[in-house]
Amino acid sequence: MKIGVPSTGPLGDRFEVWTVREPNDPQTTITWTLCIFDSNNNNVFMDAISHTVGTDPDIKSHIEDITNLSDGVYRVNVYYGNYITSGCDNAPADQLKYMFYIHKLGTNIVTLGMDSSWFPDTDYIFTMYVLNGIPFYQSSSSRTVGIPANVDVFVEVTGSDKNAYVGIVHASSDVYVPPNTTIPFRATLTIKLDKPYAQNVAAMYANLLGFGRGVVVNVVDDYTFNLQIVKTEVGVINFVVALLIFGLVALIVWGAVNIMSMVVQLEKIFTIDKIIDERNQVEQQYLSEYNNCGTDQNCINNVRNKYLPLIQAYDAEIGALTVTLQSTSQQCNGFQIGGVCIPWWAIVIAVVFLVVLIAR
């Protein structure tokens, strides 16, 4: 079972918590204890959440009322089991399953909106930002959204007209942005840590985000890794937001790590040659480290866990962009499968990779 949080801030009087049943989990009733701590580490709120999970749907939702909490940032611990009687402070340390932060709406919020010249039929806003090293996500279907004032905020806004805005916003008052790119696009977020754990954190992201989620994780050095987010259509699917939250939870739980900075680079995608080159470089790194393992099974497993989710994510990214870009073209330099053009090189890449894995 996993805990999902589709939105962590800025919040009003409620926030939503999901219990997510994974394919191998039993159909059962599970209880979580939710404990909220203020900035002074005082336990200011606790509640027990009980969900009976089945096959379909595999997500159960709980709405937590936080009306009595004042404005500000709070740490939320979610433990497996019921600790209402014994109290949050007495929960065993090894029972901590998830930790995240929520930001209750206050006076330190400014409005981010779509410029008046940008008026698609349907508006979507999806923001990701960092406040004092704490990641938050928020999605909205309105023309405006609240963001924290005087901090760097990574913003992604997409509209039904295929226009989009992607970039860093640092605002002390309300700000309205015009589009600066078009869909499809790829935004690269460079995240720097203050400890040399980039490989570990990137592996968590890759394992949690998994295959076909539109996000590729790429390690730059021991302190730095990239999140490459591919947008092929407007809007955002709630379950994808939840999966991204899982990744952020994993990052926060890694106790020694703090986010130091976030830098966004934007690249409009008209060809995917660069992505293919990056994917092939990663595959070569995988094969090199795999061969160096010899017969050491632990080494082999570590290399597989390190690279296979990343290679799968690249393949999914290439496939998504291929479908998007080829759908507007009348020519197909490859094979038509189900009305979709699959280029010859994409098939070759997939076949070669599968042959390499099978041969080993």
Identify the pLDDT of residue 271. Answer: 60
Query: End of a domain among 104, 130, 150?
Result: 104
In Å, how far are 1, 23, 207, 243, 246 from 26, measured between CA atoms? Answer: 9, 8, 21, 20, 20
pLDDT above 70 covers a percentage of the chain that reads 73
Identify the pLDDT of residue 360. Answer: 46
Please tell me which residue, 136 or 64, carries the higher pLDDT value. 64
pLDDT digits (tens, 9 = 90+) for 18-42: 887 776 777 888 888 999 998 888 9
Query: End of a domain among 268, 295, 324?
Result: 268
Q: Mark whether 128 and 217 lie in a shared domain.
A: yes
CATH of the domain at 43: 2.60.40.1930
Identify the pLDDT of residue 246. Answer: 63
Identify the pLDDT of residue 359. Answer: 47
Query: Residue range 52-74: average pLDDT?
Result: 82
pLDDT digits (tens, 9 = 90+) for 328-341: 444 555 555 444 45
Identify the pLDDT of residue 245. Answer: 65
pLDDT surpassing 90 at residue 114: yes
Q: How many domains does the chain have?
A: 3
Please tell me which residue, 231 or 44, carries the higher pLDDT value. 44
Grade residue 283 by pLDDT with cuts at 50, 70 and 90: confident
Q: Mark whether 10 and 146 lie in a shared domain.
A: no
pLDDT surpassing 60 at residue 264: yes
Identify the pLDDT of residue 103. Answer: 83
Q: Mark whether 283 and 318 lie in a shared domain.
A: yes
Q: Mark whether 339 and 229 lie in a shared domain.
A: no
Query: Residue range 33-62: average pLDDT?
Result: 84
Q: Is 358 exposed, middle or buried (0-12, 13-18, 19+ CB in 10 A)?
A: exposed
- Helix axis angle for 238-253 and 198-209, nearest 10°, is 150
Q: Mark whether 234 and 291 lie in a shared domain.
A: no
Grade residue 232 by pLDDT with cuts at 50, 70 and 90: confident
Q: Mark whether 100 and 196 lie in a shared domain.
A: no
Q: Mark whether 58 and 191 lie in a shared domain.
A: no
Identify the pLDDT of residue 178. Answer: 95
| DSSP structure string for 257-298 | --EEEEEEEEEE-S--HHHHHHHHHHHHHHHHHHHHHTT-HH
Rounded to two decimals, what is the model's pTM? Answer: 0.68
Q: Mark whether 43 and 70 lie in a shared domain.
A: yes
Grade residue 344 by pLDDT with cuts at 50, 70 and 90: low
pLDDT surpassing 50 at residue 358: no
Q: Mark whether 257 and 314 lie in a shared domain.
A: no
pLDDT digits (tens, 9 = 90+) for 168-219: 899 999 999 999 988 878 788 888 888 888 877 777 666 655 544 566 777 8
Q: Domain of residue 59: give its range.
A: 2-104
How far, rounded to the nearest angstrom, does the alpha carbon of residue 270 sit from its chain's CA centroid? 24
Grade residue 276 by pLDDT with cuts at 50, 70 and 90: confident
Identify the pLDDT of residue 249. Answer: 65
Query: End of a domain among 268, 289, 322?
Result: 268
Q: Mark whether 99 and 20 lie in a shared domain.
A: yes
Q: Mark whether 125 and 263 lie in a shared domain.
A: yes
Distance between CA atoms of residues 193 and 38, nearest Å: 24
H/E element holding 348? helix 344-359
In Å, how far are 123, 199, 350 from 355, measured between CA atoms? Answer: 44, 27, 9
Q: Mark whether 199 and 302 lie in a shared domain.
A: no
Q: Could you tell me if 199 and 289 are in contact, meaning their C-beta atoms sit under 8 angstroms apart?
A: no
